[in-house]
Structures are given as structure tokens and as C-alpha cells.
Amino acid sequence: MAITKKHVSETKVKTGIPGLDDLVEGGLIRNSAVLIRGVAGTGKTLFSLQYLTYGALNGEPGVLLSIEETKKDLFREGARFGWNLEKLEKQGKLAIIERQPHYALTIHELEKTARQLRAKRAAIDSVPALFSSYPDELQASEMRSAFHLLCQVLTNSCDCTAILITEAEWSKRYPYEEYVPKGVIELQFKIMEGTMRRFLLIKKMREVRHTKRLHLYEITNNGFTIFVPQKSAGE
């Protein structure tokens, strides 16, 4: 999918992932937080970049907190799919924040930037990387309340619809992750007679009637694409 300008709904936020919005009654609920969980190579970072790029091109500026990947890496990653993230940043439609020396400073920077940009979308890549970056400041026992607070900051203070990237292993250690956000989308691998295939499962999406089966997806030249068995007229 080449990301193009589309109508953005008031109550629903289009993900910009072809095929996904139809699976969740038109998009994510505005001002909600959705967890994207998967193992390495499932396209979690790409998912967040595509979500933010789509918003940036459609009047919804976005902010990305990237803990492990540098801006340069992300600009290069976006360019692979034809997305000029650098230009979007210069235009004030997208901001990429890197890790700050203290947790509180990082969150403050995120909030400040989101307000300056009047951001409508936010993404954290990733929650485990963020929380484990500050072992002196965040104890394991405080993780749940810190995570809850992070969701509150993103959706209320920042007025954003947020994507929170997490890892499968982290979720096993900290299962609270599933309870706090409105939605949980799981990205998986499956080997089918020697062929690797990627699948998406909407595990939870409050207030939405969503599908309950595995959906095939692929990372194509145009980004993250969900397989749709039947195309409608005009597609």
C-alpha cells in the first residue's frame, strides 16, 4: 500500500495497515492504547512506523518514542517502503524521540513533544526496552503502575491513540500488560511445510466486535499488509 491521504474518522483511527481496519470495525478507538506483541522479525517496528506515517499524511501528527533504534535507522527503514520520515519530521507531522538519561525525563519529553505537535498518534518502541533501560528507577514491583501511568499519559495527557510495542517473552514475565490497554494484537510466525508465514491475531479489542481467527499478513514493498481473500469492487 502506498500511504495516501484518506478521510480520518472522528471516533475511529485508521491504522494505515491495509486490511486491518476492516477487522476492527473501521479502526482503533480514538484515545485508546493498543499493545502490539510479537517475536523478533514479525514487523512490530514497521507496524508503528506505518501507523504514524499514515497519520502524519492524513492530518494526524504523531510521536514515536524509540528506545533502541536511532532516528537514522528509522529514516532508512521508512525509506525502504517509500516513506520520507525525515521530511515528515521537518514538516512537524512526526517526531521521533530517543531515550533520555532518566525515565521521568523521557516521559516528560514525550508529553512535551506530543503537545507541541498537537499529536493525535503515539507509539512506544518498545515497552520492554523502555522499562529495562532504567533499572535503578523502575523496580519490577512498580512496573504495573508505571505501565498504567504510561497508557494514561499517552491517551489522556498527550491526547493520542497509542501503539505500544512489546515482546512475547516480556509478556510472559509481566502479564499485566494484557489487562491495561484496550486492545492486544499478537503477531506470530508459523512454518507451513517449509514456508514461513506471518499471522496476526486480535486477542482483545474492547468495545469492538473483532475477528477471532488468525489473519495472514506479509511485509511487502509497501509495508505491512493483511491478506484479504476477496477484494471488493474498485480495489
Residues of the shown chain interacting with another protein in the complex, contacts defined by CB under 8 A: 192-195, 197, 213-214, 216, 218, 220-222, 225, 227-231, 233
Nearer to another protein, 4 or 230 (CB): 230
Nearer to another protein, 22 or 207 (CB): 22
- The whole-angstrom separation of Cα 235 and Cα 228 is 11
- Residue 96 burial (C-beta neighbours within 10 Å; 0-12, 13-18, 19+): buried
Q: Minimal distance in Å, beta carbon 116 to another protein? A: 37
Nearer to another protein, 138 or 228 (CB): 228
Residues 6 or more apart whose CB falls under 8 angstroms from that of 2 comprise 82, 222
- The whole-angstrom separation of Cα 22 and Cα 5 is 18
34 contacts 92 by C-beta, under 8 angstroms? no
Nearer to another protein, 174 or 227 (CB): 227
Q: Minimal distance in Å, beta carbon 199 to another protein? A: 8
Nearer to another protein, 101 or 194 (CB): 194
Q: Minimal distance in Å, beta carbon 234 to another protein? A: 11
Q: Minimal distance in Å, beta carbon 124 to another protein? A: 28
Name the packing angle between helices 71-80 and 44-56 (round to 10°): 80
Q: Minimal distance in Å, beta carbon 74 to another protein? A: 23
- The whole-angstrom separation of Cα 65 and Cα 195 is 34
